[in-house]
Amino acid sequence: MKGRLKQLMLSFEGKKILVIGDIMLDKTTKGNVTRVSPEAPVPVVDIVSETFSPGGAGNVAANIAILSAKASLAGIIGKDYGGVILLNTLTKNGLNTEAIIQESETITKERVISGTQQILRIDTEPGIEHNNEASASLKKLALRLIQHQNAVIISDYSKGTLTEELASAIIQEANKHKIPVISDPKPEHARWYKGSTVICLNKTEANKVAGIKTSDWESLCNTLHHTLSSNIFITAGSEDSTIYDGTMHEISVPKSHFVDKSGAGDTSTAALALAIASGASLEEAGHIANHAASIVVSKAGVSTVSINEVLALLRHDISNFIRENMEVKQAVIDTQLDKIERLANYIVDVYKNHKKILIFGNGGSAADAQHFAAELVGRYKMERQGLPAIALTTDTSAITAIANDYGYDEIFSRQVEALANSGDLVVGITTSGNSPNVILALEKAKKIGCKTVGFGGKDGGKLKDIADMTIIVPSSNTPRIQETHITIIHIVCELLEKEMAPHWRAAA
């Protein structure tokens, strides 16, 4: 599923989306609260910064643009100073503004934020009914743009831009050209948007539109589906969302750190529309919308979300794997550095005394053993003489013969008996610390007079009681243990080469 969602998102680029609706100016005032006013029990805000961004339908379009698509915005804004700032802000966000008409006053919403907490909102809403000429011009411009789009979003905040006649005309024109329409209405206008591809509502709005109170959620969705002649997308905050297209689809919401829900609905609608425009099923589009919205609610104020942020969330498993790897290695730093240094010193002594190293393990640990031996016999980083090291996991004839004649538990101990001499270093690798064939081989090595080292995981298991020294990766996650064993092997090889370099130069 995640691979498919990522593929869909990567196809957002170049998609054309028309957003029509109520355009507003969002102002964010950030400051610090250090005292309470002596005039009234209210906080005093020392202003640090003031920023402006598109709001309402403008924020939906801004989300479209930052998600790598091309957004055209149709609506009516003011001729006042707020309108000048808003038009400039829309242009800076890369939006096509040719279908924007200016008249009257600009709707402005100012959010005052201290830290990550919104402490006040100030609304300037003229409550204007736009004149017939402006509405007719808007309709003409919007209808002209529709046939060139991949999807249309109608964003109705009930501020007077949209009428039932205009909504109906847009939907009819889009349907004629087989262009999906995603409508995000206020409950009182929901029936204006009959025939949309998808109508977006939150849970409270869905109950209002349906006009019924029922615990049967599927029945409510079915009522909306037939009443509005549309597929339905219902969000419920941190709870699962629902897509209803005649069948219920529960869409999970990724867990996120909640800061501010401002603008989350706009982001959800934008991502939903882009996904549908890119060929997503409604269920797939719902998943993408929820991922995008979950990022926005973790930010303070009205904000947008980039395609890279959503892709990063979809790749969350990958980042978790890397984080786990880092945490395990930090645990090794905290507990095993002395042992790693001692192992390097053991190996230096082995080679200075003209002895050899035998290494073994099972499965992934067998590969680690071969890797270790290869770094010693060949080279790690430094040009130098080859060092005698044998991986006991490579002789398939010996391994299978011993396993057949004596049992699998003997495969390494018989080789140690045949190949090891007193003073050699024998290294056994077992992530559990309990592999019988590793334990038996280390016991045999000690009887011969070899120095023994174990590479283990978890709590070290039996290995820590058998080997002269055991390097333990304190984790129960086998892949993370094996990755860390390789890191330790590389560190030991580097320490060895640095320590032995003067000896090799003198010998040369």
Give the residue from 266, 292, 314 where a domain finishes. Answer: 314
354 lies in the same domain as 270: no
Domain that holds residue 417: 321-507
233 lies in the same domain as 102: yes
424 lies in the same domain as 441: yes
Model pLDDT, residue 131? 73
Model pLDDT, residue 428? 98
Model pLDDT, residue 175? 96
CA 130 vs. chain centroid, Å, equals 43
Q: How many domains does the chain have?
A: 2
275 lies in the same domain as 381: no
Q: Whole-model pTM above 0.75?
A: no
Model pLDDT, residue 260? 43
Give the residue from 292, 314, 336 where a domain finishes. Answer: 314
381 lies in the same domain as 254: no
148 lies in the same domain as 230: yes
Model pLDDT, residue 26? 93
152 lies in the same domain as 134: yes
Residues (pLDDT < 70) of the chain are 1, 127-130, 214-215, 254-263, 296-304, 306-308, 310-318, 507-508
65 lies in the same domain as 163: yes
331 lies in the same domain as 299: no
Model pLDDT, residue 21? 96
- Please state, as a whole number, how many other Cβ atoms lie within 10 Å of the Cβ of residue 413: 24
Model pLDDT, residue 310? 67
Give the residue from 314, 343, 372 where a domain finishes. Answer: 314
Model pLDDT, residue 317? 63
Model pLDDT, residue 259? 46
169 lies in the same domain as 273: yes
Q: Find the CATH number of the domain harbouring 250.
A: 3.40.1190.20
Model pLDDT, residue 410? 97
327 lies in the same domain as 235: no
Model pLDDT, residue 263? 58
Model pLDDT, residue 303? 59
Model pLDDT, residue 315? 62
Model pLDDT, residue 11? 81
Question: Which tokens belong to 122?
Answer: 């100030």
Q: Find the CATH number of the domain harbouring 331.
A: 3.40.50.10490
244 lies in the same domain as 385: no
Q: C-alpha angle with apex 68: 62 to 70, nearest 5 degrees?
A: 65
Beta strands 23-36 and 43-56 are: antiparallel
Determine contact, residues 442/412, Cβ cutoff 8 Å.
no
Q: How far is CA 391 from CA 100, 375, 471, in A?
A: 74, 11, 19
